[in-house]
Amino acid sequence: MTYVTGFVTPVKTADKDAYLRCAQAAAPIFKEFGALAVVENWGADIRDGKHTDFKMAVKLEPDETVVLSWIIWPDKATGDAAEKKMMEDPRFHEMEMPFDGKRMVVGGFETIFEA
């Protein structure tokens, strides 16, 4: 089964276009490193939770929007190798990152069911 790296990120609402440009620039590099798919989703209906929610997870500020993203890898080994390559690749270090990475939530997930 595939492996997924997931992200929940706060992005300044005014920076939506800049974020999209960043995602569009990064996607081909992820694909070069073995990604099967790269998906970016701009928050449209982020509901308030009673105990926790996406907004609380990233400490969302009033002028920000939650972005939910994921990268699908063929397996965990490919995802892990890609992460190492990203850290060494100057293209990522030169890229404008229009989001607060300190409040980004990141995790790796093994796919256990797919329909």
SS3 call for 63: coil
Which pLDDT band holds residue 95 (cuts at 50, 70, 90)?
confident
pLDDT tens for each residue of 62-78: 999 999 999 999 999 99
Please report, for the chain, the start and end positions of each structural domain, with discontinuous segments joined by +.
Answer: 14-65
- The CATH code that applies to domain 14-65 is 3.30.70.100
In this structure, the number of other CB atoms found within 10 A of the CB of residue 17 comes to 9
Give the CA distances from residue 64 to residues 32, 59, 99, in Å, rounded to whole numbers and listed in that order. 31, 10, 9
pTM value surpassing 0.75: yes
Q: What's the alpha-carbon Rg for the chain, to the nearest Å?
A: 15
Report the chain's mean pLDDT, rounded to a whole number.
96
What letter represents residue 50's amino acid? K
Residue 96 has pLDDT above 90, yes or no: no
Cα 29 to Cα 82: distance, rounded to the nearest angstrom: 9
Q: What share of the chain is helix, strand, coil (3-state, %, to 5)?
A: 40, 30, 35
